[in-house]
Structure 1
Amino acid sequence: MIVRERAAEDLPTCVDALQAVHVADGYPTCWPHDPAGWLSPAGLAAAWVGLDDDETVLGHVCVVGDVDDPVVAALAGVPVERLVSVSRLFVSPAARGRGLGLGAALLARVQRWSEQRGLQPMLDVVDDGAPAVDLYERLGWRLVIRRDADWLAPDGHRHRVRIYLAPE
């Protein structure tokens, strides 16, 4: 398995992996009309993929800049312009349980990239006890706040989310 910068030609297999994650885990909560476009959100600063030996996408993560969250910036002790958000992080069900450590490898890439630029990564995750929470906490990400999501679930309610900061 390798982790490298995402290329445009990776998007179709990223969408395939995302669809498998959506079926297995319900992520994303709402299937996007344009899943390839969803993988490149506004403010995209960088994106990486985890690939199997045959170049099959097994995981994905991106970093979004221009995060306007003064509360989290204050909790992190950084100016708001130094805050970046981990986004579109997923690992295909086909890669889980194989000892690849892909989720950890993708987050490590985000941390290295952010450190090189003097940026503070944050992430949010639905507060539902999913394995993602265990991963973040095992890797030393620090829970700083719980709050309502800024997006609506298909049934119209707002999930509670946990906000984490990358380990120092």
Structure 2
Amino acid sequence: MIRLRQPADLERCVAVLRAVHEADGYPLNWPADPIRWLAPEIELCSWVATGTDGEVLGHVAVHRDAELSRLFVAPAARRRSLAGRLVGVAREWAAGNGRTLTLNVPEDERRTGAVAFYEATGWRHTHTAVADWTGPDGRPVRLRHYAIGPDR
């Protein structure tokens, strides 16, 4: 089930995010305050995917300027189309609000699956730029930027 994220979900989201970070290195830099990272002031809307028992299995948010962000699915819950369903809910929200969603993906070998997923589902690569933050090794991070219109 996909539903709006509630404040009570945040601790469970952090636990899932920790598992994702350990498995995949997302987010690239572990946040000092994971709850604030998941629920920043710039957030417009967020959703969670839950199992039949209510367990949080995934998360996505839309931030100011209609940026799709904080998309992750628990490693044990993958291959169930949860990422696609979470993105679909965010796209429906954007379409209902006349917004063009954007997102960015770090350009590195661990993100090839994410890039393939976005490109296969209609996201258009618009440009690549250097982030205003660095990776865990202190090196600059290049971000691939994508957009998808409300009609896709």
Aligned partner letter, 1:165:
A
Deviates more, 1:102-111 or 1:143-152: 143-152
Deviates more, 1:115-124 or 1:148-157: 148-157
Q: Report runs of 4+ in structure 1 exceeding 4 Å deviation.
A: none
Structure 2: distance between partners of 1:55 and 1:132: 26
Given candidates 122, 129, 133, the residue that maps to 1:140 is 122
* 3-state SS of paired residue (2:132): coil
* 3-state SS of paired residue (1:41): coil
Deviations 1:96-148 (A, max 9, x none): 13xx1011111111110011111111000011252111110111111111111
* 3-state SS of paired residue (1:125): strand
Question: RMSD between aligned alpha carbons?
Answer: 1.2
* 3-state SS of paired residue (2:134): coil
Given candidates 112, 119, 122, the residue that maps to 2:102 is 122
Structure 2: distance between partners of 1:54 and 1:27: 25
Equivalent pairs counted in the alignment come to 148
Structure 1: distance between partners of 2:12 and 2:39: 14
- Structure 1, unaligned stretches of length 5 or more? 68-83
- What is the TM-score with the length of structure 2 in the denominator? 0.92
Higher strand share: 2
Corresponding residue of 2:86: 106
- Structure 2, unaligned stretches of length 5 or more? none
Structure 2: distance between partners of 1:111 and 1:33: 29
